[in-house]
């Protein structure tokens, strides 16, 4: 059996920008009681706090949990509940890098003629180590997001332009309406390698579970890093996968 189970967040253990439900919290808590778990997501640290930690039973099992926001460009661990969560590293952009990315992103959006009549919050978010474009805005309702670009075709057009105009950065389709941009080579593959280095667990002993393992998807780099990967359709399928893992471990 593997020694580390690594999950994507949105679309895998929770609906987009939504809290994990009670059943998922129970399953994750059981898993954390017997094996190390990591979560890598394009979301920022605040999303991890509200989507996962605020809804997960608070106990010593958290010492088995590693959290990697913004596609693995940051890493958080906890030694004990009193000490709280500690940031081990952050691969933040320079101001000049942020300017180049945001300019290129706006030009790519204009080039494909993308017009969104209604948005909920900002479309472009600076997450320090990652710039994220969310077509309908950061607070868009899930029902709106799930039907906007289900096959990723609209975002693929933007990504194709960005791959040409800012080739010095990594561009990945993520979530339901988003595109994540990080420094080159700093993506979920980078996070997988950081887990190996920090936890001392070989990649061969990791299992990655995500919903965007297709080429160009923001989970795909984890697969490219060599982690055995399981692609899930939604959180319900993830629950069945966790139950299977628990049946083997328990």
Tell me, what DSSP letter sits at residue 217? B
Q: Indicate the helix (H) or strand (E) that contains 181.
A: strand 178-182
Read out DSSP for 90-124?
E-PPPHHHHHHHHHHHHHHHHHTT---S--SS-SE
126 catalytic? Reply is: no
205 catalytic? Reply is: no
The response to whether 10 counts as a known ligand-binding position is yes
The response to whether 127 counts as a known ligand-binding position is yes
Reading the block at residue 250, the tokens are 């328990």
Do 47 and 15 meet the contact criterion of CB atoms below 8 Å apart?
A: no
Choosing from 8, 21, 92, 234, the catalytic residue is 8
Q: Indicate the helix (H) or strand (E) that contains 206.
A: strand 206-210
Reading the block at residue 83, the tokens are 């000490």
Residue 126: other Cβ atoms inside 10 A:
15
Closest CA to 111 of 69, 166, 178, 161: 161
Reading the block at residue 1, the tokens are 């059996």
Choosing from 10, 151, 163, 187, the catalytic residue is 10
Residue 146: other Cβ atoms inside 10 A:
15
Tokens 């692609």 belong to 231
The response to whether 77 counts as a known ligand-binding position is no
CB neighbour burial string for 47-63, b if at least 16 within 10 angstroms, e if fewer: bbeebbbebbeeeebbe
Beta bridge partners of 231: 210
The response to whether 178 counts as a known ligand-binding position is yes
The response to whether 233 counts as a known ligand-binding position is no
The response to whether 71 counts as a known ligand-binding position is no
Active-site residues, by number, are 8, 10
| Residue set of the binding site for alpha-D-mannose 1-phosphate | 127, 178, 180
| Residue set of the binding site | 8, 10, 127, 178, 180, 211
| Residue set of the binding site for Mg(2+) | 8, 10, 211
């Amino acid at each position: 059996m593997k020694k580390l189970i690594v999950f994507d967040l949105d679309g895998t253990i929770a609906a987009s920008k939504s809290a994990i439900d009670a059943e998922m919290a129970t399953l994750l808590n059981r898993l954390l009681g017997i094996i190390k778990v990591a979560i890598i997501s394009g979301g920022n640290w605040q999303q991890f706090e509200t989507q996962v930690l605020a809804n997960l039973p608070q106990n010593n099992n958290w010492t088995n949990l590693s959290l990697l926001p913004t596609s693995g460009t940051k890493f958080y661990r906890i030694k004990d509940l009193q000490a709280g969560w500690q940031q081990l590293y952050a691969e933040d952009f320079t101001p000049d890098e942020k300017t180049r990315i945001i300019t290129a992103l706006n030009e790519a959006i204009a080039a494909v003629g993308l017009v969104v009549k209604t948005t909920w919050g900002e479309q472009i978010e600076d997450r320090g180590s990652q710039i994220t474009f969310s077509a309908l805005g950061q607070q868009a309702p899930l029902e709106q997001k799930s039907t906007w670009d289900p096959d990723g075709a609209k975002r693929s057009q933007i990504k194709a332009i960005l791959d040409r105009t800012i080739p010095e950065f990594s561009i990945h389709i993520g979530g339901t309406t988003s595109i994540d941009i990080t420094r080159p080579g700093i993506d979920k593959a980078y996070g997988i390698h950081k887990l190996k280095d920090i936890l001392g667990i070989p990649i061969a002993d990791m299992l990655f579970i995500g919903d965007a393992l297709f080429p160009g998807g923001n989970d795909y780099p984890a697969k490219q890093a060599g982690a055995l990967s399981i692609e899930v359709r939604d959180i319900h399928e993830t629950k069945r996968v966790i139950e299977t893992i628990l049946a083997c471990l328990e």
